[in-house]
Amino acid sequence: MPRWEPDARERLVAAALHLFSEQGYDNTTVAEITDRAGLTKSTFFRHFPDKRELLAAGQETLSRLFAGGIAAAPADAGPLAAVAAGLERAAGAMTPFNRELGPRLHAVIASSVELQERDALKQVGFAAAMADALRARGVPDPVAALAAELGVLAFKDAYAAWVATDNHQELGELAQAALERLRAAAAELS
């Protein structure tokens, strides 16, 4: 087997999700994942510290994209407009691979309390990245935190709609619509 394999990270994620779906998260070993992916255990551990982290693949990249989009928003953009820019940037990086594996990912996470906890931590990380980017723009803390949480909710809602088999809309479009619905809902709180 060659030392370097193209798309190793994606192959490991896809193999793991298939195995988790077939035999359960707890019953799947790293050796089985690497065998299914046609890779070595050392390749696995170059990409992930453990099998749980497979399902958080891309979290750091998405956090950077959210923050980068917020930072690049026009100077006069309000907090939610800046969050919308972050959502658009992150949505633009999502690939057909992400879309294809989405339903399987949701099912696997739903089957394990440990994975549900890891997924919740991932959402917290997204919110922290967005809130930090908003504070860097001078947005006061409570507003930055609330706008970031709305951004996470919008992205989560949009992603779930995007991976649905009957969906034909783009993720960015879905994220913008979800954020607008949340903006309207928040206005009704007063």
Tens-level pLDDT at each residue, the chain (190 residues): 444 556 898 899 999 999 998 998 889 999 999 999 999 999 999 999 988 888 777 788 899 999 999 999 999 999 999 999 999 999 999 988 889 888 888 888 898 888 899 889 999 999 999 999 999 999 999 999 999 999 999 999 999 999 987 888 999 999 999 999 999 999 998 7
pLDDT reported for residue 46: 92
Please give the Cα distance from 102 to 158 (Å, whole number). 12
Q: Alpha carbon of 118 to those of 8, 30, 114, 154: distances in Å?
A: 22, 18, 6, 19
Select from 3.40.190.10, 2.30.42.10, 1.10.10.60, 3.40.50.300 the CATH code of 8-54.
1.10.10.60
Q: Does domain 58-187 have CATH number 1.10.357.10?
A: yes
Same CATH fold assignment for domains 8-54 and 58-187:
no
Torsion of CA 139, 143, 145, 146, to 10 degrees: -140
Task: Sketch the domain layout of the chain as residue ranges.
Answer: 8-54, 58-187
Residue 138: left (phi > 0), alpha (psi -120 to 50), or beta? left
Residue pair 55/105 in contact (Cβ under 8 Å)? The answer is yes
Phi-psi region of 109 (alpha: psi -120 to 50; beta: other; left: phi over 0): alpha
CA 53/CA 44 separation, integer angstroms: 11
pTM of the model: 0.86
